[in-house]
A and B are shown apart, each in its own frame.
Chain A
Protein backbone atom coordinates (compact mmCIF):
# COMPACT_ATOMS: atom_id res chain seq x y z
CA UNK A 1 0.00 0.00 0.00
CA UNK A 2 1.30 3.45 -0.90
CA UNK A 3 2.05 5.82 1.96
CA UNK A 4 0.09 8.57 0.32
CA UNK A 5 -3.50 8.13 -0.80
CA UNK A 6 -5.21 10.86 -2.75
CA UNK A 7 -8.81 11.41 -1.63
CA UNK A 8 -11.82 12.59 -3.58
CA UNK A 9 -13.82 14.63 -1.07
CA UNK A 10 -12.89 17.92 -2.65
CA UNK A 11 -14.21 16.79 -6.03
CA UNK A 12 -17.65 16.06 -4.67
CA UNK A 13 -18.26 19.08 -2.52
CA UNK A 14 -17.51 17.38 0.77
CA UNK A 15 -16.11 19.89 3.19
CA UNK A 16 -16.43 19.10 6.85
CA UNK A 17 -15.84 22.66 7.93
CA UNK A 18 -17.94 24.79 5.68
CA UNK A 19 -20.99 24.42 3.47
CA UNK A 20 -19.87 27.53 1.65
CA UNK A 21 -16.55 25.93 0.68
CA UNK A 22 -18.51 22.86 -0.43
CA UNK A 23 -20.36 25.02 -2.92
CA UNK A 24 -17.16 26.56 -4.21
CA UNK A 25 -15.79 23.04 -4.75
CA UNK A 26 -18.95 21.96 -6.57
CA UNK A 27 -18.49 24.89 -8.96
CA UNK A 28 -14.79 24.30 -9.50
CA UNK A 29 -15.22 20.58 -10.21
CA UNK A 30 -18.37 20.81 -12.26
CA UNK A 31 -16.64 19.28 -15.26
CA UNK A 32 -14.84 15.95 -15.06
CA UNK A 33 -11.91 17.49 -16.89
CA UNK A 34 -11.23 19.61 -13.79
CA UNK A 35 -10.99 16.44 -11.69
CA UNK A 36 -8.76 14.74 -14.22
CA UNK A 37 -6.51 17.78 -14.35
CA UNK A 38 -5.93 17.59 -10.59
CA UNK A 39 -5.42 13.82 -10.73
CA UNK A 40 -2.86 14.26 -13.48
CA UNK A 41 -1.03 16.83 -11.40
CA UNK A 42 -1.08 14.51 -8.41
CA UNK A 43 0.26 11.65 -10.51
CA UNK A 44 3.03 13.86 -11.92
CA UNK A 45 4.31 14.58 -8.43
CA UNK A 46 4.35 10.92 -7.50
CA UNK A 47 0.91 9.96 -6.23
CA UNK A 48 -0.10 6.51 -7.38
CA UNK A 49 -3.32 5.76 -5.49
CA UNK A 50 -6.69 7.44 -5.68
CA UNK A 51 -9.12 6.50 -2.91
CA UNK A 52 -12.63 7.37 -3.99
CA UNK A 53 -16.31 6.78 -3.35
CA UNK A 54 -18.34 4.95 -5.95
CA UNK A 55 -19.94 8.21 -7.02
CA UNK A 56 -21.52 8.12 -10.50
CA UNK A 57 -18.95 10.56 -11.83
CA UNK A 58 -16.07 8.26 -10.92
CA UNK A 59 -17.23 6.05 -13.78
CA UNK A 60 -16.17 8.79 -16.20
CA UNK A 61 -12.83 9.15 -14.46
CA UNK A 62 -12.34 5.40 -14.86
CA UNK A 63 -13.10 5.71 -18.58
CA UNK A 64 -10.39 8.33 -18.86
CA UNK A 65 -7.91 6.05 -17.08
CA UNK A 66 -8.71 3.10 -19.30
CA UNK A 67 -8.32 5.31 -22.36
CA UNK A 68 -4.93 6.57 -21.21
CA UNK A 69 -3.13 3.37 -20.29
CA UNK A 70 0.31 4.86 -20.77
CA UNK A 71 -0.17 7.16 -17.80
CA UNK A 72 -2.59 5.09 -15.75
CA UNK A 73 -1.67 1.46 -16.36
CA UNK A 74 -0.02 1.06 -12.94
CA UNK A 75 -2.22 3.52 -11.13
CA UNK A 76 -4.36 2.18 -8.26
CA UNK A 77 -7.86 3.02 -7.22
CA UNK A 78 -9.15 2.12 -3.78
CA UNK A 79 -12.94 2.13 -4.25
CA UNK A 80 -15.02 3.02 -1.18
CA UNK A 81 -18.57 1.80 -1.30
CA UNK A 82 -21.36 2.55 -1.24
CA UNK A 83 -21.74 6.21 -2.12
CA UNK A 84 -23.94 6.64 0.91
CA UNK A 85 -25.99 9.71 0.05
CA UNK A 86 -27.29 8.01 -3.06
CA UNK A 87 -28.78 5.27 -0.89
CA UNK A 88 -29.77 7.51 2.00
CA UNK A 89 -31.80 9.78 -0.24
CA UNK A 90 -33.32 6.76 -1.97
CA UNK A 91 -34.27 5.26 1.40
CA UNK A 92 -36.00 8.49 2.43
CA UNK A 93 -37.85 8.49 -0.85
CA UNK A 94 -38.59 4.80 -1.47
CA UNK A 95 -38.14 3.04 1.86
CA UNK A 96 -35.44 0.47 2.52
CA UNK A 97 -36.88 -2.28 0.38
CA UNK A 98 -37.66 0.14 -2.44
CA UNK A 99 -34.11 1.49 -2.39
CA UNK A 100 -32.66 -2.01 -2.45
CA UNK A 101 -34.83 -2.90 -5.41
CA UNK A 102 -33.81 0.28 -7.18
CA UNK A 103 -30.11 -0.46 -6.83
CA UNK A 104 -30.03 -4.23 -7.09
CA UNK A 105 -28.61 -5.29 -10.42
CA UNK A 106 -30.89 -6.58 -13.18
CA UNK A 107 -31.75 -10.20 -12.45
CA UNK A 108 -32.09 -9.73 -8.71
CA UNK A 109 -34.90 -7.26 -9.29
CA UNK A 110 -36.68 -9.56 -11.68
CA UNK A 111 -36.24 -12.42 -9.24
CA UNK A 112 -37.75 -10.23 -6.58
CA UNK A 113 -40.68 -9.06 -8.66
CA UNK A 114 -41.44 -12.54 -9.93
CA UNK A 115 -42.33 -13.53 -6.42
CA UNK A 116 -38.93 -15.07 -5.86
CA UNK A 117 -38.40 -12.62 -3.02
CA UNK A 118 -38.53 -15.42 -0.48
CA UNK A 119 -35.60 -17.01 -2.20
CA UNK A 120 -33.22 -14.05 -2.29
CA UNK A 121 -34.57 -12.73 0.97
CA UNK A 122 -32.80 -15.32 3.04
CA UNK A 123 -29.47 -15.05 1.34
CA UNK A 124 -28.20 -11.69 2.55
CA UNK A 125 -24.60 -12.52 1.78
CA UNK A 126 -25.54 -13.09 -1.86
CA UNK A 127 -27.40 -9.80 -1.91
CA UNK A 128 -24.42 -7.98 -0.47
CA UNK A 129 -22.23 -9.57 -3.12
CA UNK A 130 -24.59 -8.38 -5.85
CA UNK A 131 -24.48 -4.85 -4.48
CA UNK A 132 -20.68 -4.92 -4.28
CA UNK A 133 -20.49 -6.21 -7.85
CA UNK A 134 -22.82 -3.47 -9.05
CA UNK A 135 -20.59 -0.83 -7.47
CA UNK A 136 -17.44 -2.48 -8.82
CA UNK A 137 -18.61 -2.50 -12.44
CA UNK A 138 -17.16 0.92 -13.20
CA UNK A 139 -13.66 -0.22 -12.17
CA UNK A 140 -13.35 -3.03 -14.68
CA UNK A 141 -9.80 -3.23 -15.97
CA UNK A 142 -8.45 -0.89 -13.30
CA UNK A 143 -6.19 -1.98 -10.43
CA UNK A 144 -8.21 -2.05 -7.22
CA UNK A 145 -5.94 -3.75 -4.69
CA UNK A 146 -7.99 -2.58 -1.69
CA UNK A 147 -11.77 -2.27 -1.61
CA UNK A 148 -13.32 -0.32 1.24
CA UNK A 149 -16.66 -0.33 2.95
CA UNK A 150 -17.71 3.23 3.78
CA UNK A 151 -18.01 4.35 7.37
CA UNK A 152 -21.79 4.75 7.32
CA UNK A 153 -22.15 1.05 6.56
CA UNK A 154 -19.22 -0.12 8.69
CA UNK A 155 -20.35 1.81 11.74
CA UNK A 156 -23.99 0.84 11.29
CA UNK A 157 -23.04 -2.85 11.22
CA UNK A 158 -20.53 -2.35 14.02
CA UNK A 159 -23.17 -0.81 16.25
CA UNK A 160 -25.76 -3.44 15.35
CA UNK A 161 -23.24 -6.14 16.24
CA UNK A 162 -23.78 -7.91 12.91
CA UNK A 163 -20.08 -8.52 12.33
CA UNK A 164 -20.59 -11.62 10.20
CA UNK A 165 -21.40 -9.21 7.38
CA UNK A 166 -17.80 -7.92 7.56
CA UNK A 167 -16.55 -11.45 7.12
CA UNK A 168 -18.80 -12.02 4.12
CA UNK A 169 -17.58 -8.78 2.55
CA UNK A 170 -13.93 -9.66 3.18
CA UNK A 171 -14.39 -13.09 1.69
CA UNK A 172 -16.10 -11.74 -1.42
CA UNK A 173 -13.58 -9.02 -2.30
CA UNK A 174 -10.70 -11.43 -1.75
CA UNK A 175 -12.21 -14.15 -3.86
CA UNK A 176 -13.78 -12.18 -6.67
CA UNK A 177 -11.44 -9.17 -6.94
CA UNK A 178 -8.28 -10.57 -5.43
CA UNK A 179 -8.32 -7.47 -3.26
CA UNK A 180 -7.76 -6.71 0.41
CA UNK A 181 -10.87 -5.64 2.31
CA UNK A 182 -10.66 -2.21 3.90
CA UNK A 183 -12.93 -0.62 6.47
CA UNK A 184 -13.54 3.08 6.99
CA UNK A 185 -14.81 3.68 10.50
CA UNK A 186 -15.38 6.57 12.85
CA UNK A 187 -14.87 4.07 15.67
CA UNK A 188 -11.35 2.83 15.10
CA UNK A 189 -10.75 1.02 18.39
CA UNK A 190 -14.07 -0.83 18.37
CA UNK A 191 -13.46 -1.88 14.77
CA UNK A 192 -10.00 -3.21 15.60
CA UNK A 193 -11.45 -5.28 18.43
CA UNK A 194 -14.31 -6.64 16.32
CA UNK A 195 -11.97 -7.66 13.49
CA UNK A 196 -9.84 -9.52 15.99
CA UNK A 197 -12.90 -11.29 17.41
CA UNK A 198 -14.14 -12.50 14.04
CA UNK A 199 -10.73 -13.39 12.69
CA UNK A 200 -10.08 -10.71 10.08
CA UNK A 201 -6.33 -10.56 10.56
CA UNK A 202 -4.34 -7.36 10.44
CA UNK A 203 -7.24 -5.41 8.89
CA UNK A 204 -6.87 -2.18 6.95
CA UNK A 205 -8.83 0.40 8.91
CA UNK A 206 -9.15 4.00 7.80
CA UNK A 207 -10.16 6.46 10.53
CA UNK A 208 -9.94 10.08 11.56
CA UNK A 209 -6.63 10.48 13.34
CA UNK A 210 -5.54 13.96 14.29
CA UNK A 211 -3.94 15.94 17.05
CA UNK A 212 -7.12 17.60 18.30
CA UNK A 213 -9.26 14.46 18.28
CA UNK A 214 -11.72 15.73 15.67
CA UNK A 215 -14.17 12.97 14.62
CA UNK A 216 -12.50 10.59 17.02
CA UNK A 217 -14.84 8.54 19.18
CA UNK A 218 -14.22 7.47 22.75
CA UNK A 219 -11.06 9.39 23.50
CA UNK A 220 -7.88 10.48 21.73
CA UNK A 221 -5.88 8.66 24.43
CA UNK A 222 -7.58 5.40 23.53
CA UNK A 223 -6.79 5.95 19.84
CA UNK A 224 -3.17 6.69 20.70
CA UNK A 225 -2.90 3.56 22.82
CA UNK A 226 -4.21 1.40 19.96
CA UNK A 227 -1.75 3.08 17.59
CA UNK A 228 1.18 2.30 19.87
CA UNK A 229 0.22 -1.05 21.41
CA UNK A 230 2.01 -3.83 19.45
CA UNK A 231 -0.69 -6.32 20.50
CA UNK A 232 -3.29 -4.36 18.55
CA UNK A 233 -2.57 -5.66 15.08
CA UNK A 234 -4.08 -3.55 12.30
CA UNK A 235 -3.00 -1.42 9.38
CA UNK A 236 -4.23 2.11 10.09
CA UNK A 237 -4.82 4.71 7.43
CA UNK A 238 -5.13 8.20 8.85
CA UNK A 239 -7.77 10.49 7.40
CA UNK A 240 -8.89 13.96 8.46
CA UNK A 241 -5.34 14.52 9.69
CA UNK A 242 -5.81 18.27 9.22
CA UNK A 243 -9.00 18.10 11.32
CA UNK A 244 -11.01 19.67 8.50
CA UNK A 245 -8.50 22.51 8.28
CA UNK A 246 -8.20 23.32 11.98
CA UNK A 247 -4.55 22.17 11.96
CA UNK A 248 -1.62 23.39 9.89
CA UNK A 249 -0.17 20.64 7.67
CA UNK A 250 3.21 20.61 9.42
CA UNK A 251 1.96 20.05 12.97
CA UNK A 252 -0.71 17.67 11.65
CA UNK A 253 1.74 15.37 9.86
CA UNK A 254 4.32 15.58 12.64
CA UNK A 255 1.66 14.24 14.97
CA UNK A 256 0.90 11.33 12.61
CA UNK A 257 4.64 10.66 12.34
CA UNK A 258 4.74 9.67 16.01
CA UNK A 259 2.93 6.45 15.19
CA UNK A 260 5.01 4.14 13.01
CA UNK A 261 2.06 1.76 12.80
CA UNK A 262 0.18 4.20 10.55
CA UNK A 263 0.75 2.92 7.03
CA UNK A 264 -0.79 5.66 4.97
CA UNK A 265 -2.32 9.11 5.01
CA UNK A 266 -5.40 10.00 3.01
CA UNK A 267 -5.57 13.60 1.89
CA UNK A 268 -6.87 15.74 -0.90
CA UNK A 269 -5.66 19.04 -2.30
CA UNK A 270 -6.53 20.88 -5.44
CA UNK A 271 -3.32 22.73 -6.30
CA UNK A 272 -0.02 21.23 -7.31
CA UNK A 273 1.75 23.32 -4.65
CA UNK A 274 -0.44 22.00 -1.87
CA UNK A 275 -0.14 18.44 -3.08
CA UNK A 276 3.65 18.73 -3.17
CA UNK A 277 3.77 20.31 0.27
CA UNK A 278 1.75 17.44 1.73
CA UNK A 279 3.84 14.79 -0.02
CA UNK A 280 7.04 16.36 1.29
CA UNK A 281 5.72 16.39 4.83
CA UNK A 282 4.41 12.83 4.69
CA UNK A 283 7.66 11.55 3.17
CA UNK A 284 9.61 13.30 5.91
CA UNK A 285 7.55 12.12 8.87
CA UNK A 286 5.95 8.82 7.97
Chain B
Protein backbone atom coordinates (compact mmCIF):
# COMPACT_ATOMS: atom_id res chain seq x y z
CA UNK B 1 0.00 0.00 0.00
CA UNK B 2 1.14 3.50 -0.80
CA UNK B 3 0.54 5.97 2.01
CA UNK B 4 -0.87 9.29 0.81
CA UNK B 5 -1.72 12.58 2.47
CA UNK B 6 -3.39 15.75 1.22
CA UNK B 7 -2.83 19.42 1.98
CA UNK B 8 -5.75 21.66 1.03
CA UNK B 9 -9.39 20.61 1.08
CA UNK B 10 -10.84 22.88 -1.57
CA UNK B 11 -12.76 21.61 -4.57
CA UNK B 12 -9.76 19.83 -6.07
CA UNK B 13 -8.39 18.65 -2.74
CA UNK B 14 -11.67 17.00 -1.77
CA UNK B 15 -11.98 15.44 -5.18
CA UNK B 16 -8.43 14.03 -4.92
CA UNK B 17 -9.23 12.74 -1.42
CA UNK B 18 -12.17 10.79 -2.73
CA UNK B 19 -10.26 9.37 -5.70
CA UNK B 20 -7.22 8.41 -3.62
CA UNK B 21 -9.28 6.88 -0.88
CA UNK B 22 -11.08 4.72 -3.45
CA UNK B 23 -7.79 3.59 -5.01
CA UNK B 24 -7.07 -0.06 -4.18
CA UNK B 25 -3.31 0.50 -3.79
CA UNK B 26 -3.53 3.64 -1.68
CA UNK B 27 -4.10 4.30 1.97
CA UNK B 28 -5.10 7.92 2.50
CA UNK B 29 -3.69 8.47 5.97
CA UNK B 30 -4.19 12.16 6.63
CA UNK B 31 -5.65 15.44 5.46
CA UNK B 32 -4.59 18.98 6.28
CA UNK B 33 -6.50 22.24 5.96
CA UNK B 34 -6.78 25.56 7.73
CA UNK B 35 -10.58 25.33 8.00
CA UNK B 36 -11.64 23.50 11.13
CA UNK B 37 -15.13 23.15 9.67
CA UNK B 38 -13.82 20.76 7.01
CA UNK B 39 -11.49 18.89 9.34
CA UNK B 40 -14.44 18.22 11.62
CA UNK B 41 -16.29 16.57 8.73
CA UNK B 42 -13.34 14.21 8.37
CA UNK B 43 -13.17 13.66 12.11
CA UNK B 44 -16.80 12.74 12.21
CA UNK B 45 -17.26 10.73 9.01
CA UNK B 46 -13.81 9.84 7.70
CA UNK B 47 -10.99 7.49 8.66
CA UNK B 48 -8.13 9.92 8.17
CA UNK B 49 -6.10 11.83 10.70
CA UNK B 50 -6.67 15.56 10.44
CA UNK B 51 -4.12 18.35 10.76
CA UNK B 52 -3.94 22.09 10.41
CA UNK B 53 -0.12 22.03 10.24
CA UNK B 54 1.27 20.21 7.21
CA UNK B 55 4.76 19.82 8.65
CA UNK B 56 3.35 18.07 11.67
CA UNK B 57 1.22 15.89 9.42
CA UNK B 58 4.22 14.84 7.36
CA UNK B 59 6.35 14.13 10.42
CA UNK B 60 3.69 12.14 12.19
CA UNK B 61 2.23 10.15 9.31
CA UNK B 62 5.30 9.67 7.09
CA UNK B 63 3.40 9.46 3.79
CA UNK B 64 5.00 8.09 0.60
CA UNK B 65 3.30 10.75 -1.46
CA UNK B 66 1.49 13.98 -0.96
CA UNK B 67 -1.07 16.03 -2.86
CA UNK B 68 -0.69 19.79 -2.60
CA UNK B 69 -4.02 21.42 -3.44
CA UNK B 70 -3.70 24.72 -1.61
CA UNK B 71 -3.82 28.22 -3.13
CA UNK B 72 -0.84 28.70 -5.44
CA UNK B 73 1.06 31.06 -3.15
CA UNK B 74 1.64 28.19 -0.70
CA UNK B 75 2.82 25.64 -3.27
CA UNK B 76 6.56 26.31 -3.26
CA UNK B 77 7.05 26.06 0.53
CA UNK B 78 4.95 22.94 0.87
CA UNK B 79 6.31 21.16 -2.20
CA UNK B 80 9.93 21.89 -1.29
CA UNK B 81 9.38 20.72 2.27
CA UNK B 82 7.85 17.44 1.10
CA UNK B 83 10.58 16.84 -1.49
CA UNK B 84 13.25 17.45 1.17
CA UNK B 85 11.65 14.65 3.18
CA UNK B 86 11.84 12.31 0.18
CA UNK B 87 8.10 12.37 -0.55
CA UNK B 88 6.63 12.09 -4.06
CA UNK B 89 4.51 15.13 -4.90
CA UNK B 90 1.40 15.79 -6.94
CA UNK B 91 0.77 19.53 -7.03
CA UNK B 92 -2.35 21.29 -8.26
CA UNK B 93 -2.14 23.84 -11.04
CA UNK B 94 -1.11 26.58 -11.48
CA UNK B 95 2.25 25.25 -10.32
CA UNK B 96 4.16 28.26 -9.00
CA UNK B 97 3.72 31.97 -8.66
CA UNK B 98 7.19 32.75 -9.94
CA UNK B 99 9.47 30.98 -12.36
CA UNK B 100 12.21 31.17 -9.76
CA UNK B 101 10.14 29.13 -7.25
CA UNK B 102 9.10 26.71 -9.96
CA UNK B 103 12.69 26.14 -10.97
CA UNK B 104 13.67 25.28 -7.38
CA UNK B 105 10.92 22.66 -7.22
CA UNK B 106 11.83 21.14 -10.59
CA UNK B 107 15.49 20.95 -9.61
CA UNK B 108 14.91 19.41 -6.21
CA UNK B 109 12.47 16.79 -7.53
CA UNK B 110 14.99 15.80 -10.19
CA UNK B 111 17.92 15.71 -7.76
CA UNK B 112 16.00 13.49 -5.37
CA UNK B 113 14.63 11.30 -8.13
CA UNK B 114 11.08 11.74 -6.88
CA UNK B 115 7.87 11.36 -8.88
CA UNK B 116 6.43 14.79 -9.56
CA UNK B 117 3.21 15.70 -11.28
CA UNK B 118 0.98 18.73 -11.75
CA UNK B 119 -2.80 18.48 -12.08
CA UNK B 120 -3.18 19.47 -15.71
CA UNK B 121 -5.89 16.87 -16.23
CA UNK B 122 -6.56 17.71 -19.87
CA UNK B 123 -3.43 15.70 -20.67
CA UNK B 124 -5.40 12.62 -19.63
CA UNK B 125 -8.39 13.24 -21.90
CA UNK B 126 -8.63 10.88 -24.87
CA UNK B 127 -9.54 13.47 -27.49
CA UNK B 128 -6.55 15.67 -26.69
CA UNK B 129 -4.17 12.71 -26.56
CA UNK B 130 -5.42 11.58 -29.98
CA UNK B 131 -5.00 15.10 -31.40
CA UNK B 132 -1.41 15.16 -30.19
CA UNK B 133 -0.72 11.79 -31.79
CA UNK B 134 -2.28 12.79 -35.10
CA UNK B 135 -0.57 16.19 -35.21
CA UNK B 136 2.78 14.49 -34.60
CA UNK B 137 2.02 11.86 -37.26
CA UNK B 138 1.48 14.68 -39.76
CA UNK B 139 -2.13 13.76 -40.53
CA UNK B 140 -3.00 17.37 -41.35
CA UNK B 141 0.41 18.14 -42.88
CA UNK B 142 2.63 21.08 -42.02
CA UNK B 143 0.92 23.28 -39.48
CA UNK B 144 0.44 26.99 -40.08
CA UNK B 145 -1.89 28.16 -37.32
CA UNK B 146 -3.64 27.21 -34.08
CA UNK B 147 -6.32 28.60 -31.80
CA UNK B 148 -6.53 27.67 -28.13
CA UNK B 149 -9.49 28.75 -26.06
CA UNK B 150 -11.38 28.22 -22.84
CA UNK B 151 -14.67 29.73 -21.75
CA UNK B 152 -16.67 29.26 -18.61
CA UNK B 153 -18.89 30.85 -15.97
CA UNK B 154 -16.69 31.52 -12.91
CA UNK B 155 -16.92 35.25 -12.21
CA UNK B 156 -20.26 36.58 -13.37
CA UNK B 157 -20.74 39.64 -11.24
CA UNK B 158 -18.76 42.37 -9.57
CA UNK B 159 -17.53 41.14 -6.21
CA UNK B 160 -15.01 38.68 -4.92
CA UNK B 161 -12.47 38.64 -2.20
CA UNK B 162 -10.97 35.15 -2.24
CA UNK B 163 -7.44 34.22 -3.23
CA UNK B 164 -8.74 33.83 -6.76
CA UNK B 165 -9.32 37.56 -6.94
CA UNK B 166 -5.70 38.44 -6.15
CA UNK B 167 -2.99 38.00 -8.77
CA UNK B 168 -0.33 37.93 -6.08
CA UNK B 169 -1.89 34.73 -4.74
CA UNK B 170 -2.30 32.99 -8.08
CA UNK B 171 -5.80 34.20 -8.82
CA UNK B 172 -7.22 35.61 -12.01
CA UNK B 173 -8.23 34.15 -15.32
CA UNK B 174 -4.64 33.99 -16.57
CA UNK B 175 -3.37 31.77 -13.75
CA UNK B 176 -6.53 29.83 -13.22
CA UNK B 177 -8.10 29.30 -16.64
CA UNK B 178 -5.56 30.30 -19.30
CA UNK B 179 -2.91 28.11 -17.67
CA UNK B 180 -4.93 25.07 -18.75
CA UNK B 181 -4.96 26.17 -22.37
CA UNK B 182 -1.29 27.17 -22.44
CA UNK B 183 -0.35 23.82 -20.91
CA UNK B 184 -2.54 21.98 -23.38
CA UNK B 185 -1.06 23.81 -26.37
CA UNK B 186 2.35 22.71 -25.10
CA UNK B 187 1.13 19.13 -24.72
CA UNK B 188 -0.67 18.84 -28.06
CA UNK B 189 1.58 20.97 -30.30
CA UNK B 190 4.72 22.49 -28.81
CA UNK B 191 6.17 24.69 -26.11
CA UNK B 192 4.88 28.29 -26.17
CA UNK B 193 7.88 30.63 -25.82
CA UNK B 194 6.73 34.09 -26.82
CA UNK B 195 3.63 36.26 -26.72
CA UNK B 196 2.69 39.48 -28.47
CA UNK B 197 -0.29 41.79 -28.38
CA UNK B 198 -1.49 40.36 -25.06
CA UNK B 199 -4.73 41.80 -23.73
CA UNK B 200 -5.78 41.23 -20.15
CA UNK B 201 -9.33 42.43 -19.71
CA UNK B 202 -11.20 43.16 -16.51
CA UNK B 203 -14.86 42.46 -16.90
CA UNK B 204 -16.21 42.09 -13.36
CA UNK B 205 -13.12 41.67 -11.19
CA UNK B 206 -11.28 44.66 -9.79
CA UNK B 207 -7.84 43.29 -9.19
CA UNK B 208 -7.46 40.51 -11.72
CA UNK B 209 -8.27 39.95 -15.35
CA UNK B 210 -11.36 38.01 -16.37
CA UNK B 211 -10.25 37.45 -19.96
CA UNK B 212 -6.95 36.88 -21.72
CA UNK B 213 -6.16 37.27 -25.41
CA UNK B 214 -2.73 36.92 -26.99
CA UNK B 215 -0.75 35.88 -30.05
CA UNK B 216 1.64 33.07 -29.17
CA UNK B 217 4.76 31.70 -30.80
CA UNK B 218 5.84 28.13 -30.14
CA UNK B 219 9.37 26.75 -30.03
CA UNK B 220 8.91 25.11 -33.45
CA UNK B 221 8.11 28.52 -34.93
CA UNK B 222 4.38 27.95 -35.27
CA UNK B 223 2.23 30.88 -34.24
CA UNK B 224 -1.38 31.04 -33.15
CA UNK B 225 -3.88 32.61 -30.84
CA UNK B 226 -5.13 32.31 -27.32
CA UNK B 227 -8.59 33.40 -26.18
CA UNK B 228 -9.77 32.71 -22.64
CA UNK B 229 -12.68 34.15 -20.67
CA UNK B 230 -13.95 32.93 -17.32
CA UNK B 231 -16.83 35.37 -17.22
CA UNK B 232 -18.76 33.77 -20.05
CA UNK B 233 -22.08 32.42 -18.93
CA UNK B 234 -22.98 31.06 -22.36
CA UNK B 235 -21.12 27.95 -21.19
CA UNK B 236 -22.52 25.72 -18.47
CA UNK B 237 -19.04 24.68 -17.37
CA UNK B 238 -15.46 25.21 -18.47
CA UNK B 239 -15.06 24.37 -22.16
CA UNK B 240 -11.53 24.07 -23.43
CA UNK B 241 -10.80 23.62 -27.11
CA UNK B 242 -8.00 23.79 -29.63
CA UNK B 243 -8.11 24.02 -33.38
CA UNK B 244 -5.05 23.35 -35.49
CA UNK B 245 -4.74 24.16 -39.14
CA UNK B 246 -2.35 22.42 -41.51
CA UNK B 247 -1.72 22.26 -45.22
CA UNK B 248 -3.61 18.97 -45.54
CA UNK B 249 -6.50 19.75 -43.23
CA UNK B 250 -7.68 20.89 -39.86
CA UNK B 251 -8.45 19.46 -36.41
CA UNK B 252 -10.92 20.93 -33.95
CA UNK B 253 -10.90 19.29 -30.55
CA UNK B 254 -12.52 19.64 -27.15
CA UNK B 255 -12.99 17.25 -24.24
CA UNK B 256 -15.88 15.46 -25.93
CA UNK B 257 -15.05 15.21 -29.62
CA UNK B 258 -12.30 15.53 -32.19
CA UNK B 259 -13.29 16.74 -35.63
CA UNK B 260 -10.83 16.22 -38.44
CA UNK B 261 -11.17 17.78 -41.88
CA UNK B 262 -8.94 16.31 -44.57
CA UNK B 263 -8.38 17.57 -48.09
CA UNK B 264 -7.60 13.99 -49.16
CA UNK B 265 -8.47 10.57 -47.75
CA UNK B 266 -5.94 9.06 -45.32
CA UNK B 267 -6.15 5.26 -45.56
CA UNK B 268 -3.55 4.52 -42.90
CA UNK B 269 -5.57 6.49 -40.36
CA UNK B 270 -8.88 5.27 -41.73
CA UNK B 271 -10.01 8.86 -42.32
CA UNK B 272 -12.18 10.00 -45.19
CA UNK B 273 -11.83 13.09 -47.33
CA UNK B 274 -13.84 15.90 -45.69
CA UNK B 275 -15.05 15.86 -42.11
CA UNK B 276 -14.40 12.93 -39.76
CA UNK B 277 -15.46 12.79 -36.12
CA UNK B 278 -13.87 10.83 -33.30
CA UNK B 279 -15.88 10.68 -30.12
CA UNK B 280 -14.72 10.50 -26.55
CA UNK B 281 -16.65 7.22 -26.25
CA UNK B 282 -14.01 5.55 -28.43
CA UNK B 283 -11.07 7.29 -26.82
CA UNK B 284 -11.66 6.86 -23.09
CA UNK B 285 -10.10 3.95 -21.23
CA UNK B 286 -12.12 2.73 -18.23
CA UNK B 287 -11.07 3.84 -14.78
CA UNK B 288 -11.56 1.95 -11.56
CA UNK B 289 -13.41 4.79 -9.85
CA UNK B 290 -15.10 7.71 -11.55
CA UNK B 291 -15.72 11.03 -9.85
CA UNK B 292 -17.00 13.68 -12.29
CA UNK B 293 -14.83 12.55 -15.18
CA UNK B 294 -12.40 9.79 -16.03
CA UNK B 295 -9.47 12.17 -16.46
CA UNK B 296 -9.36 13.09 -12.76
CA UNK B 297 -8.99 9.44 -11.79
CA UNK B 298 -6.66 8.73 -14.70
CA UNK B 299 -4.16 11.38 -13.57
CA UNK B 300 -4.12 10.08 -9.98
CA UNK B 301 -3.93 6.45 -11.15
CA UNK B 302 -0.98 7.43 -13.30
CA UNK B 303 0.76 9.22 -10.43
CA UNK B 304 0.34 6.18 -8.17
CA UNK B 305 1.46 3.83 -10.92
CA UNK B 306 4.61 5.91 -11.46
CA UNK B 307 5.41 5.58 -7.74
CA UNK B 308 4.67 1.86 -7.64
CA UNK B 309 6.62 0.96 -10.73
CA UNK B 310 9.24 3.66 -10.58
CA UNK B 311 8.21 4.99 -13.98
CA UNK B 312 10.27 7.96 -15.03
CA UNK B 313 8.49 9.11 -18.17
CA UNK B 314 6.14 11.82 -17.02
CA UNK B 315 2.93 12.95 -18.71
CA UNK B 316 2.48 16.12 -16.66
CA UNK B 317 5.75 16.89 -14.89
CA UNK B 318 6.82 19.85 -12.78
CA UNK B 319 9.12 20.73 -15.64
CA UNK B 320 6.31 20.99 -18.16
CA UNK B 321 4.17 22.94 -15.70
CA UNK B 322 7.06 25.36 -15.26
CA UNK B 323 6.93 26.03 -19.01
CA UNK B 324 3.33 27.12 -18.47
CA UNK B 325 4.35 29.38 -15.59
CA UNK B 326 7.11 30.86 -17.74
CA UNK B 327 4.79 31.72 -20.59
CA UNK B 328 2.33 33.24 -18.11
CA UNK B 329 5.17 35.52 -17.01
CA UNK B 330 5.87 36.35 -20.66
CA UNK B 331 2.22 37.28 -21.17
CA UNK B 332 2.20 39.55 -18.12
CA UNK B 333 5.44 41.22 -19.20
CA UNK B 334 4.05 41.70 -22.69
CA UNK B 335 1.23 43.83 -21.30
CA UNK B 336 3.75 45.99 -19.43
CA UNK B 337 5.72 46.87 -22.57
Interface residues of A (CB under 8 A from B): 12-19, 22-23, 26, 84-85, 88-89, 91-98, 117, 121-122, 124, 151-152, 155-162, 164-165, 186-187, 190, 212-220, 243-246
Contact = CB atoms under 8 A, between A and B. Distances in A.
30 contacts: A14-B236, A15-B256, A16-B256, A17-B256, A85-B236, A89-B153, A92-B154, A92-B164, A93-B155, A93-B164, A95-B162, A96-B14, A96-B35, A97-B35, A121-B36, A121-B37, A122-B40, A124-B45, A159-B291, A161-B45, A186-B290, A212-B281, A213-B286, A216-B286, A217-B289, A218-B286, A218-B289, A244-B281, A246-B279, A246-B282
A164 B56 CA distance: 29
B227 interface: no
Most buried by B among A14, A16, A160, A213: A160
Contacts, number: 130
Most buried by B among A19, A95, A157: A19
A187 B14 contact: no
B10 A159 contact: no
Contacts of A217: 286-290
Contacts of A14: 236
Contacts of A18: 256-257
B254 interface: yes
Contacts of A84: 292
Contact of B46 (A16, A121, A160): A160
B79 interface: no
Given A160-B17, A160-B18, A162-B46, A88 B11 contact: yes
A243 B241 CA distance: 22
Given A92-B11, A93-B164, A97-B35, A85 B237 contact: yes
Interface of B: 9-11, 14-15, 17-19, 21-22, 35-38, 40-41, 44-47, 153-155, 160, 162, 164, 234, 236-237, 239, 241, 254-257, 279-282, 284, 286-292
A162 B153 CA distance: 30
A124 B290 CA distance: 25
Given A17-B257, A162-B46, A155 B37 contact: no
Most buried by A among B9, B164, B280: B280
Contacts of A12: 236
B289 A164 contact: no
Contacts of B21: 159-161
A121 B257 CA distance: 43
A98 B289 CA distance: 29
Contact of A187 (B162, B237, B290): B290
Most buried by B among A85, A216, A217, A218: A217
Contacts of B255: 19
Contacts of B11: 88, 91-92, 96
Contact of A162 (B45, B164, B239, B280): B45
B35 A93 contact: no
Contact of A156 (B254, B286, B291): B291
Nearest to B159: A93
